[in-house]
Structure formats: C-alpha cells, structure tokens
Amino acid sequence: MSSLEQIESVEGILNKHIPEGEREEVLKILYGKETKPLDLPLSALSIAEKNNFEIKGYSFTAAPEQLRSPRIVRVGLIQNQIVLPTDRPIKEQRDAIHQRIATIVKAAAEGRVNILCLQEAWTMPFAFCTREKKPWCEFAEPAEDGVTTELVKDLSNQYNMVIISPILERDGNHGDTIWNTAVVVSRGRYLGKHRKNHIPRVGDFNESTYYFEGNTGHPVFQTEYGKIAVNICYGRHHPLNWFMFGANGAEIVFNPSATVGELSEPLWGVEARNAAIANSYFTCGINRVGTERFPNEFTSGDGRPAHQDFGHFYGSSYVAAPDGSRTPGLSRTKDGLLIVEMDLNLCRQVRDSWGFRMTQRLDMYAKSMAAVLEPNYEPNIIS
C-alpha cells in the first residue's frame, strides 16, 4: 500500500498542521463560504459507530426572501468498499453489499435524509477493468424490477425517501443488452432511469467492453423535494453534459462514480464544484473506497505489467453549492455517509447575483458548434 493510500483525508492534514488562527482563512480560500456542521441525531451516530462507517453532516444556507419560503432538503451520499472478496459466489457478494448498504440507509433515515444517492455500480466490484464477461455480467439485472430495485423500493417506502441506485442494467426487452444505469425510486415507486452518457477508454477503464454510451439523454426527475439529475461517473469530465442537466431544470445533480487516485484525484475536487458554479445548482460527488483485487491478471494496453487490481478508490465524497462553496470530503479510506442540508433557494439567488444564465451566448455557441460538425470545417485561426 502506498503512502498516498494511507492518507485519511486532506482536511485532516490541514486541521493538524495549519495554526488555528490561520485555518479559517485558508479553508475559506480553498472551500469558499463556510459550511456549518450539521447536528446529527445520536441514533444515526450510534449506527455508524456500531457498524464502523464514518458519518458527517454539513449545511448550506441561503438568504431569507420575502416572497418565497426556504426550500430545505437533506441529501445523503454513501461511499463504500465491497464486502466480500471478488472470488466469492456472485449472489453472496451482492447480498453482503445489500445488507451493508441497508444498514447505512437506516442511519441516513435517522438523519432525516430526503434524497439518497449510492455510488456507481454499487452492488458489485468494479470489474469492468478486467474485460472478462464471466462472471461479472451475472451482476446485471433489470432496472425496473430487479432484485436490487426491489430492495431499494422497500427501503425508499420504509423511510419516505428518494433513492438513486446506480446498477449494471440488463435490458431483457432489447436483446439482453447491458447498460450502466442509475435507477431513481421515490417513496417505493420506480420513477425512471438514466444511462451513462460517456464511456471511458483510458487505462484500465475500458468499459465499452460491457456497455456503450447511454440513450436516455439528460433527464431531470421531478420529486417532491426538488428537481434532480444523475451525471454518472465519466460524464463529469464533459462540461456540456453538466450543462444539459441544468438546461433541463435540475436543482441538484448527483455524480455517482468509481475512480482511482493515480488517474483522477487532482480533478476530483474541481469538476463537480465547477459544474455547480457554471450551472447554478448543487452537485454531489460520490466515489467508492478501497482496493479491489481480482482472481485473474489483466493488462491496460499502456505498457504496465499485468496486474490484479487497478488502484485505490479514494472516496472523498462531497457536495458543492452554486455559490462555489463546498463541504469537506468524506474519508479516503473508510465507508461513509455524508448528510448535507441545503436551501434550494440558493440556486436562483446565485443566478440573480452572477447572471451566468442571462449572459451566456447559446445562440453563438450553437451556430459555431453546428459548423464544427461539418466535414469541411476549418478552425477559425487568424495569423
């Protein structure tokens, strides 16, 4: 294990080494307006302590308005390691993760979470690096009524919660095709799904072996708590992907991910936060934790020797607000639940203040992009 993997959190290092008198100013520069710690009930804290996962809570505020009441929503983000080794039977692996997540969801309910999002492909190891079809395709299941969706329906109904459940989907109506899909369930009812728009082909992340780019566009789900969308993993690297969810009215965009330190960690704290600023909505980045070792060696096509794992998933899940502020991240090494209270009125307040929507030039961009797509396009370079 490298020294990087042993770092518990960046925030812990800052708190340990920056003098108290300077710490507040440093954190303001790094993270924007302070997010206040959120008092969590003892029942939630007790579940976390008993079951060995981290739990943290923060709150974003908005200015009081005369004509609108506050629109207070609590979101929950869960990051977790796999529970059993990857060589155990598929059903045992899936059932163990189901049981683990059900326990953490109970803590989220005790913390009065309204909307909960799980990490990308949460029911399984992130086996797409192996490019092996057997046995990993057995984790795929129907989005509407698969065993995982039925579990999530029960939890959602029991706790009066909206739950976003990213799974490996098998579409039996279209030739058993496989998709990387986020299922949205509201109070026990299947609300809809979104399929991952952008598929990586970098290093070990050659996921097009299993599924192609999604065909669901940029849907926004109207829930009783607000309008939400799901930008799955690699889509966070594409600014226009974030933009389209905002154009369709999203107020909170969740980014369930699975990404490792050497590949992407310098980008992690930047991309979702930039999207929150540019699109005047809240963003929620969720990354799994741990190192997953597979039975067979695989290669990446990048000259590295064959290997059985592809690095450390660094957790660090966080929430960013449209004013550029953000919460501290969860641990880089532990399972965790982040509970964040937010006032959705902040979205419009930031739009009024900065005017990004009003000053954007979509007409100009649309014309230029249409020209770029033409085969005879020539870049507008003046020399």
Q: Tokens 């925030």 — which residue? A: 11
- Cβ-count burial of 70 within 10 angstroms (0-12 exposed, 13-18 middle, 19+ buried)? middle
Mutual orientation of helices 239-247 and 261-279 as an angle, nearest 10°?
30
Q: Which residue numbers are catalytic?
A: 120, 196, 233
Closest of 236, 258, 284 to residue 121, by C-alpha = 258
DSSP state of 326: B
- Cβ-count burial of 358 within 10 angstroms (0-12 exposed, 13-18 middle, 19+ buried)? exposed
Helices (H), the chain: 3-6, 10-17, 20-31, 42-50, 90-110, 147-159, 239-247, 261-279, 345-354, 356-359, 362-372
According to the 3-state scheme, what is the secondary structure of 265-313? HHHHHHHHHHHHHHHCCEEEEEECEEECCCCCCECCCCCCCCECCCCEE
Tell me the sheet residues that pair with 245.
none
| Cα 62 from Cα 351, distance rounded (Å) | 13
Write the CA distances from 337 to 55, 94, 152, 198, 308, integer angstroms: 5, 20, 17, 27, 28
| Cα 85 from Cα 287, distance rounded (Å) | 19
Residue 296: what residue type? N
Residue 125's contacts (CB-CB under 8 Å, 6 or more residues apart) are 82, 86, 93, 136, 292, 294
